């Protein structure tokens, strides 16, 4: 007889920002256990699933959700997620909370994988319908300088990232990220900047501008690698955080730009630095700005929707015909269930969009789900902050473990 869900319990733990979050445990009647903790963003999209206060969330998980799911089949992920969505009954999961729902949805998949005695990424690949014998690995995107809502340093853009070129084996890509991270620390010190870090582990000194940040990155990469050949740059502008009523304000360069002016500003950066990736370049509601920029630069770089699409399949379907972006961020907690996350990824891939699976700025070292998810769906990229700080490296280290495991098997 196949095991059923026996009990769902939940308590609060502290995340990387010192905020409380959920730790949910799903127990099957064969003794298998799945545990899932939940990340939280600071620069959230307006259409994300609702984040219920933690104590309320614990109450929902241990009463309503537990009562509904006990006795259910943990291998029928679609049915579990449908039940959660139906019991919630609101468009943005306000009743049960996106955080409560996601913790159960993911913990059920972990318990099912444990019961089958297969690694999580293999179980997720099967659920997703990825039947490949050998798994492809996402290219890691390392956030080495922090600004925006992740630091209090006056730097408008949220994330400055280095990207090892694709086709580099994962272990080498990680090595490259680590080297550049140490190099940029030295470059900052040499130039008299502090080396405190932001929420995602990247350095966050005061006094940087987008141009000085990119210049320091150039120096940090060039001493060990070929810039624009082995290593490229990416930016998550998270434009909502520097949008004022009318203008986009890059105060550190005394710029107050219209949407068209900001598009020109980005084009200038793209012409002067090896930038291949630009995330949330405009506010999520500024579709005109997105469309204009996509027309200008859509063939030259990845224009990535995060707040724009919030991992929501229904929103993505509406965005695709507007031609605003050619890549998406995937954050399961933006939408709230594994099934909807899979659906979003499927729609993005069918539309020819690149997929970047992402952590959140408030995260936990206990949670490495996105590493297994990225491998399972053959995501193009994974974004988990700097190659430093426990909650950031936990994901990279889990990928390394999967990579070495798969490689050994390959060599057998
Ligand atoms: P958040 O930021 O996790 O604080 O929302 C991450 C991002 O914008 O990519
Ligand atoms: Zn983002």
Q: Which residue has the higher pLDDT, 41 or 166?
A: 41
Of 234, 265, 270, 233, nearest in space to 249 by CA: 265
Which listed ligand is nearest to 42 at the C-alpha? Answer: 1
CATH of domain 139-411: 3.20.20.120
Centre of ligand 2 from the C-alpha of residue 36, in Å: 23
Q: Look at phi and psi of residue 143 and say left if phi exceeds 0, alpha if psi is from -120 to 50, else beta.
A: beta
Active site residues: 200, 331
Per-residue confidence (pLDDT) for residue 410, from 0 to 100? 55
Contact 50/41 with Cβ under 8 angstroms? no
Pocket test for ligand 1, best of 142, 146, 238 (most atoms within 8 A of CB): 238
**Residue 32 Cβ < 6 Å to ligand 1:** no
Instruction: Say if ligand 1 is within 6 A of residue 42 CB.
Output: yes
- Mutating to test ligand 1, I would choose from 42, 148, 333 the residue with most ligand atoms within 8 A of its C-beta, which is 42
Q: Is 252 helix (H, G, I), strand (E, B) or coil?
A: helix
SS3 label, residue 72: coil
Q: Is the shortest distance between the CB of 146 and ligand 1 below 6 Å?
A: no
Domains 5-117 and 139-411 share a fold: no
Please check whether the domain covering 5-117 is classified as CATH 3.40.50.1370.
no
Average pLDDT over residues 326-336: 98
337's tokens: 């269930």
Ligand 1 nearest-atom number relative to CA 279: 9
Region 315-324: mean pLDDT is 98
Strands 20-28 and 231-236: unpaired
Segment 5-17, tens digit of pLDDT: 999 999 999 999 9
- Among 141, 306, 309, 381, which is best to mutate for testing ligand 1, by the most ligand atoms less than 8 A from CB? 306
286-308 residue pLDDT tens: 999 999 999 999 999 999 999 99
For the chain, give every domain's residue range: 5-117, 139-411
- Residue 376, helix vs strand vs coil: helix
Instruction: Tell me, using a 6 A CB cutoff, whether residue 306 lines ligand 1.
Output: yes
State the distance from the centre of ligand 1 to the C-alpha of 27, rounded, in angstroms. 31
What is the distance between the terminal CA atoms of the chain, rounded to a whole angstrom? 35
pLDDT in tens, 208-239: 999 999 999 999 999 999 999 999 999 999 99
pLDDT tens-digit map of 18-76:
999 999 999 999 999 999 999 999 999 999 999 999 999 999 999 999 999 999 999 99
The overall average pLDDT reported for the chain is: 97
Which residue has the least CA distance to atom 1 on ligand 1?
Answer: 41
Distance in angstroms (rounded) separating the CA atoms of residues 290 and 84: 34
Measured from the CB, is residue 236 less than 6 Å from ligand 1?
yes
Helix (H, G, I), strand (E, B) or coil at 3: coil
Contact between 183 and 224 (Cβ < 8 Å): yes
Lowest-pLDDT choice from 140-149, 164-173, 279-288:
164-173
- Measure the CA–CA gap between 305 and 87, rounded to whole angstroms: 30
Structure tokens given for 170:
């994962």
Distance between CA 306 and CA 324 in Å, rounded?
12
Residues surrounding ion ligand 2 at CB below 5 Å:
236, 279, 306
Separation of CA 43 and ligand 1 centre (Å): 5
Q: Is the CB of 361 under 6 A from ligand 1?
A: yes
Judge whether residue 406 has pLDDT over 80: yes
Token pair recorded at residue 284: 């999520």
Asked if residue 188 lies in contact with residue 195, where contact means CB atoms within 8 angstroms, the answer is yes
- For 107-172, strand residue ranges (E) read 139-146, 159-164
Encode pLDDT of 351-360 as tens digits: 999 999 999 9
> What gap in Å lies between CA 308 and CA 329, rounded to an integer?
9
Q: At what angle do helices 210-222 and 259-272 cross, to 10 degrees?
A: 20
Testing ligand 1's pocket by substitution, the residue of 40, 42, 43 carrying the most ligand atoms inside 8 A of its CB is 43
How big is the CA angle at 171 (ends 127 and 364), to the nearest 5 degrees?
Answer: 60
Rounded distance between C-alpha atoms, residue 101 and residue 65, angstroms: 8
Residue 396: which of 378, 377, 372, 376 has the closest Cα?
A: 372
CA distances to 307, 311, 342, 382 from 314, in Å: 14, 9, 13, 23
pLDDT at 5: 98
CB of residue 359 inside a 6 A radius of ligand 1: no
For residue 412, what pLDDT band results from cuts at 50, 70 and 90? very low
Centre of ligand 1 to C-alpha 230, Å, is 26
- What's the rounded Cα separation, in Å, for the pair 375 and 18? 29
With 70 as the cut, is the pLDDT of residue 164 above it? yes
**What integer is the mean pLDDT of 258-281?**
98
- Residues present in the chain in total: 412
Is residue 238 within 6 Å of ligand 1 at its C-beta? yes
Burial class (CB in 10 A: 0-12, 13-18, 19+), 90: exposed
C-alpha–C-alpha distance, residues 397 and 319, integer Å: 34
Tell me the torsion sign for CA atoms 100, 106, 110, 116.
positive
* C-alpha torsion angle, residues 119, 124, 129, 134 (rounded to 10): -40
CB 36 near ligand 1, within 6 Å: no
In this predicted structure, what is the pLDDT of residue 165?
87
Nearest listed ligand to the Cα of residue 360: 1
**Is pLDDT above 90 for 121?**
yes
């Amino acid at each position: 007889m196949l095991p059923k869900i026996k009990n769902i319990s939940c308590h609060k733990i502290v995340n990387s920002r010192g905020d409380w979050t959920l730790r949910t445990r799903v127990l099957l009647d064969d003794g298998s256990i799945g545990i899932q903790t939940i990340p939280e963003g600071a620069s959230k999209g307006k259409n994300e699933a609702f984040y219920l206060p933690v104590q309320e969330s614990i109450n929902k998980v241990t009463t309503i959700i537990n009562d509904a799911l006990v006795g259910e089949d943990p291998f029928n992920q679609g049915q579990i997620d449908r039940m959660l969505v139906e019991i919630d009954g609101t468009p943005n999961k306000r009743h049960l909370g996106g955080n409560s729902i996601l913790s159960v949805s993911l913990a059920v998949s972990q318990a099912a994988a444990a019961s089958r005695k297969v690694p999580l990424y293999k179980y997720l690949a099967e659920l997703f319908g990825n039947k490949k014998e050998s798994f492809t690995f996402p290219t890691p995107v390392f956030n080495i300088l922090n600004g925006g809502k992740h630091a209090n340093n006056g730097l408008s853009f949220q994330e400055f990232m280095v990207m090892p070129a694709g086709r580099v084996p994962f272990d080498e890509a990680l090595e490259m990220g680590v080297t550049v991270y140490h190099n940029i620390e030295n470059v900052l010190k040499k130039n008299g900047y502090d080396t405190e870090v932001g929420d995602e582990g990247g350095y966050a000194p005061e006094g940087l501008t987008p141009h000085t940040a990119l210049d320091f990155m150039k120096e940090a990469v060039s001493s060990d690698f070929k810039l624009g050949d082995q290593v490229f740059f990416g930016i998550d502008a998270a434009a909502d955080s520097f949008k004022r009523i009318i203008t986009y304000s890059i105060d550190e360069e005394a710029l107050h730009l219209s949407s068209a002016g900001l598009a020109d500003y980005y084009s200038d950066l793209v012409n002067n630095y090896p930038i291949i990736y630009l995330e949330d370049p405009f506010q999520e509601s500024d579709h005109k700005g997105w469309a204009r920029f996509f027309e200008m630069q859509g063939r030259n770089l990845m224009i990535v929707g995060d707040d724009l699409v919030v991992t929501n399949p229904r929103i993505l379907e509406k965005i695709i015909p507007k031609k605003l972006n050619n890549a998406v961020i995937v954050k399961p907690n933006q939408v709230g269930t594994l099934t909807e996350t899979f659906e979003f990824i499927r729609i993005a891939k069918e539309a020819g969009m690149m997929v970047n699976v992402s952590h959140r700025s408030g995260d936990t070292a206990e949670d490495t789900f996105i590493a297994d998810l990225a491998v399972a769906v053959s995501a193009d990229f994974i974004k988990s902050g700097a190659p430093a700080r426990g909650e950031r490296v936990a994901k990279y280290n889990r990928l390394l473990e999967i990579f070495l495991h798969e490689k050994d098997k390959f060599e057998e």
